[in-house]
Structure 1
Amino acid sequence: MNKCHIAYLACTAALLGTSLGAAPSTAAAHTVRLVKPGDSIQQAVDAAGPGDTVLLAHGVHHGSVDVTTPGITLRGMGRGTVLRPAAATGASATAKAAPAASGACAAAGNGICVTGTRTDSVKGVTIASLTVTGFRKTGVYAHSAEALTVRSVTAVGNGVWGIATERSPRGVFRGNTARDNGDAGLFLANTVTEEEGASDAGGTVVERNRLEGNRIGVTVRRLRNLTVVGNRLTGNCAAVFLVGDENKPKAGRVTVRENRIERNNKSCPKTARLDALQGSGIVLTGTDDNVITHNVIRDNAGKSPLSGGIVVFKSFVGTPSERNRISDNLLSGNSPADLVNTDPGVGNTFQGNSCVSSQPAGLC
């Protein structure tokens, strides 16, 4: 028997005219499906239609969730609504936990998955007001999800990414906390499985998030046309990574502004794709036409080739970064320097920054 507790909210609006005989109009009814700990979130999501809300009650829920219906909201009641991996077989009979999860999301090691197809994206989904923790790969993962909103989500202690998207334009990521995840707290990419040029992010906004203790706070990989604004990044190995390569069109046209980036001095070892990381504020590699402005970047220090306050670095496949504008940032206490440019690319400019040291000299 489905244990989901279902409440119906009918939204009716009356149109009042100034003359007699004005006819009322009625908006479509939407459903709120309340899921308590131990009930099946997946059943409630599968039963929901566009405009419906699946509301997770306060407490610990177990399992993974696949969302494929457009226009639905999956929402908790704040940080005290917690989603963890399904309980292992043989768990205590007294523990109120959902049975081991099935489906593609669980099989991939993710918590919440919002997935369309390359030819038919799922649109207008919202994930909000809950904690996702302890998943082997990603807390919240989206593929081919257009106009996705993720807000007030805490993604902590997941094995790879806290919140991640591929092929998902026009997203809004606002007011989230991503902490102590194995790779990026927030990872936005065109794709990680194919070699192809950067895709248009459609004005995606990453705003007012807290990104702490991850390998990288925010990674923007092979994308164009998005904004990273007003975030707080501290305690990561690197704060912001804008990553491109030799594919066409190149990555770029990203605005990074008004972020506070301090003490990202955690030490992370070298991987097959990337050198060791420590003390990196904002890194641009193989990416063009970005605007880095009005950020506060302090006390990021390390001995990696990528260490420094703002670092323009030729990509590991040899592609230069070009026409990037770094202006009006406040930098101090970064090592080996506040501004670092080791890239031979043309048209990179450094203007109006408040800083003390640079490599090469003269950028401040």
Structure 2
Amino acid sequence: MTKRHIPYVACSTAVLGALLGAAPASADPQVHVVHPGESIQKAVDAARSGDTVLVQAGTYHESVEVTTSGITLRGVGPDTVLQPAADKAGSTEKAGKSCAGQGNGICVVGAKNQPVRGVTVADLTVTGFSKIGVVAVGADGLTVRAVTADKNGQWGIAEERSTRSVYRQDIARSNGDAGLFLANTITAEQGAADTGGTVLEQNRLEDNRIGITVRRLRNLTVKQNYITGNCAGVFVVGDENKPKTGALTVSHNLIERNNKYCAATARLPFLQGSGIILTGAEDTVVTHNVVGANSGASPLSGGIVLFKSFVGATSERNRISGNRLGGNGPADLVNQEAAKSSNVFQRNVCGASKPAGLC
């Protein structure tokens, strides 16, 4: 380098340093702290990708809609509570298409053909909403962790049209339908969608109509969950649409005493005493689960049940292996498919099966 280049380099370095030094502080992740009496939604609206909205302990009467990618909405534990807001007339929710207007607590919503990505909802309680505690529509890479969803009218935690989600260490109890409900789409008849590897693990599902419902989805794992006191434990649902529900794994779950009674609906008979149900599913692995003391007189009752769907869709090439079952009624293993179907039962430890010979 010649002497005449030195002033140019020094000048360039100074300019670069000035530019770097002038970078706004907002370029760094921010923590937006919300205290009781303040608006969570206002903090969420102000947050940018990478920011955290930290909600302090207290009861917040509002619904919250998240549409910004990359933000974290986090409480400080179960004592951070979201409940429906009451209007002046005393009703808890206003009509409309907003999150609150639809009767939901927390909504994570992507735009059409543009999913909201990398959102985390964690460490809080969502209770008392007429529809869904936490719902995601059009999300990718969502994490819902250590969330308690209880006493909501329909589902505790739900998603549709979403991929690569993680639901971990959540509690869903006393909800009107499923504690955890995952579907391709709720309103349309379509073939099963690939979730890209969604995981439901280490959750507690208790006193719901169904613990976990997986409907018209593929490439998903349900593992290490504790499921008790529901009418049915795990429900893997398919139908005549293509591709079928399947290519998923249900493993290492403890599913016991799901003996609550739930009346029949337009789509299903009454439910009681069902551990794991597969209907209209294919290529699903059900393995290393402990399934006990689930007993009832419903057509869907039993420990692990393969049930031919009401629209005639068969279950094919499913493998039920290495499970431990006992005290389920009418049997530990129930196969309602044709005797020569491609489903496989092997190395299960159990006492009784329908038909005989599956244990």
Is the Cα–Cα contact under 8 Å of residues 283 and 312 in structure 1 kept in the other structure? yes
Write out per-residue CA displacement over residues 259-315 of structure 1, whole angstroms, 9 at most, x where no aligned residue: 000000000000011111000000000010000000000000000000000000011
- The residue type equivalent to 1:45 in the other structure is V
State how 1:198-237 maps to structure 2 within 5 Å: 198-237=192-231
Quick one: which of 334, 345, 349 aligns to 1:340?
334
Q: In angstroms, what is the RMSD of aligned CA positions?
A: 1.9
Aligned match of 1:58: 57
Contact 2:93 2:103 survives alignment (8 Å): no
Within 5 A, what are the aligned runs for 1:1-364?
A: 28-89=27-88, 104-344=98-338, 346-364=341-359
TM-score normalised per structure 2: 0.90
What's the CA shift string for 1:301-331, capped at 9, x where partnerless?
A: 0000000000000111000000000000000
3-state DSSP of counterpart to 2:45: helix
- Structure 2: give runs of 5+ residues left out of the alignment: 1-19
Q: Please say if residues 66 and 103 of structure 1, whose CA atoms lie closer than 8 Å, have aligned partners that are also in contact.
A: no
Q: CA deviation at 1:192?
A: 1.1
Contact 1:145 1:169 in 2 (8 A): yes
Amino acid at match of 1:55: L
- Could you tell me which runs of 5 or more consecutive residues in structure 1 were left unpaired when the two chains were aligned: 1-23, 92-97
2:216 and 2:263 mapped to 1: Cα distance?
A: 23
1:254 positional shift = 1.2
Code of the residue aligned with 2:349 in structure 1: it is S
The answer as to whether partners of 2:179 and 2:211 remain within 8 angstroms in 1 is yes
Aligned residues: 335
Partner of 2:264, secondary structure, is coil
- Give 1:46's aligned amino acid: D
- Work out the percentage of aligned pairs sharing the same amino acid: 64
* TM-score normalised according to structure 1 size: 0.89
1:251 aligned partner, one-letter code: T
Q: CA deviation at 1:346?
A: 2.2
User: Is the Cα–Cα contact under 8 Å of residues 96 and 102 in structure 2 kept in the other structure?
Assistant: no
Q: Partner letter of residue 281 of structure 1?
A: G
Within 1, Cα distance between the matches of 2:225 and 2:124? 19
Deviation for aligned residue 1:219: 0.3
Kindly indicate whether the alpha-carbon contact (under 8 Å) linking 1:115 and 1:142 is maintained by their aligned counterparts in 2.
yes
| Residues 49-94 of structure 1: CA deviation (Å, up to 9, x unaligned) | 0000111110101111110000000000000000000023167xxx
Question: What secondary structure, in the 3-state scheme, does the structure 1 residue paired with 2:65 have?
Answer: strand
CA distance, structure 1, for counterparts of residue 284 and residue 355 of structure 2: 20
Larger Rg over CA atoms = 2
CA distance in 2, matches of 1:46, 1:156: 26
Cα distance in structure 2, aligned partners of 1:249 and 1:192: 16
Deviations 1:212-257 (A, max 9, x none): 0000000000000010000000000000000000111111011000
Using a 3 Å threshold, how does the CA distance of structure 1 residues 79 and 102 change in structure 2: closer, same or farther?
farther
Task: Report the Cα distance in structure 1 between the residues aligned to 2:267 and 2:95, rounded to whole angstroms.
Answer: 32
SS at match of 1:42: helix
**What is the DSSP-based 3-state SS (H/G/I as helix, E as strand, rest coil) of the residue aligned with 1:46?**
helix
Which portions of structure 1, spanning 4 or more consecutive aligned residues, are displaced by more than 3 angstroms? 24-28, 98-103
Cα deviation per residue 1:96-117 (whole Å; 9 max; x = unaligned)?
xx99798610111000000013
Equivalent-residue separation in structure 1 for 2:274 and 2:42 (angstroms): 44
Q: Give per-residue Cα distances to partners, 1:16-37, cap 9 Å, x unaligned.
A: xxxxxxxx99995111111112
- Partner amino acid, structure 2, of 1:39: E
Contact 1:63/1:100, CA 8 A, preserved across alignment? no
CA distance in 2, matches of 1:316, 1:167: 24
User: Which residue identity is paired with 2:137?
Assistant: H
Pick which of 102-111 and 352-361 moved more.
Answer: 102-111
SS in 2 for 1:104: coil
Distance (whole Å) between structure 2 residues aligned to residue 213 and residue 273 of structure 1? 21
Alpha-carbon distance in 2 for matches of 1:88, 1:265 = 38
